[in-house]
Amino acid sequence: MDDLATRTGISKRTIYRYFRSKEEIIVAVMEDLMHGIEKDTRMAVEASGHPVDKITGAIGVVLRNIRQIQPLVLHDVQKHFPQLWERVEQFRAEKIQQIFEELLAGDGQDCFRKVNPKIFTAALLACIRAVVNPNFIMENNLSPEETIRSLFDIFMNGIITEEQKPKQITGRSL
């Protein structure tokens, strides 16, 4: 609380007038962050007509917001406030599922390969939970931004160069 009071130039007494505990402050900050991400993501998706631009716009919103938070802070939330972390995970899963299932199912511009939207979003969510989490980021000395960019690059572009991509992956070629 001392650090917060010093950084904001507000006395601890004033802070406690609005918040009863550190937990209340953390919950308020995370709720505000999620609300902002939801609003800005919706605007980014609605602003573009092209499906790929919708995805890159949504990812851009997340990247701009995640830059403000140190991985150690997210680690502390995950460790000391598991119920709040579960809300963050649920929020993340719902938004990703909503965006990708809608775009993949309704791709009238043939921007995406024909893949099952449910399988794609389930795989993406599993990867996000495994990689875009404080423990993985800190253990591998990564930034959240670098982690998110790399993961979405892999999902959006794959790992095979254009020259090496097979015409179509079939059961026989695997």
Token duo for residue 44 = 């980014």
pTM of the predicted model, to two decimals?
A: 0.78
* Tens digit of each residue's pLDDT, the chain (174 residues): 777 778 788 888 888 888 998 889 999 989 999 999 999 999 998 988 788 888 889 999 999 988 888 888 889 999 999 999 999 999 999 999 988 888 887 767 777 888 888 898 999 999 999 999 999 999 999 999 999 999 999 988 876 667 666 655 444 444
The interaxial angle of helices 51-66 and 82-105, nearest 10 deg, is 160
**Secondary structure of residue 13 in the 3-state scheme:** helix
Distance CA 80, CA 71 (A): 14
CA triple 109-111-113, angle to 5 deg: 120
Domains recognised in the chain with CATH numbers? 22-157 (1.10.357)
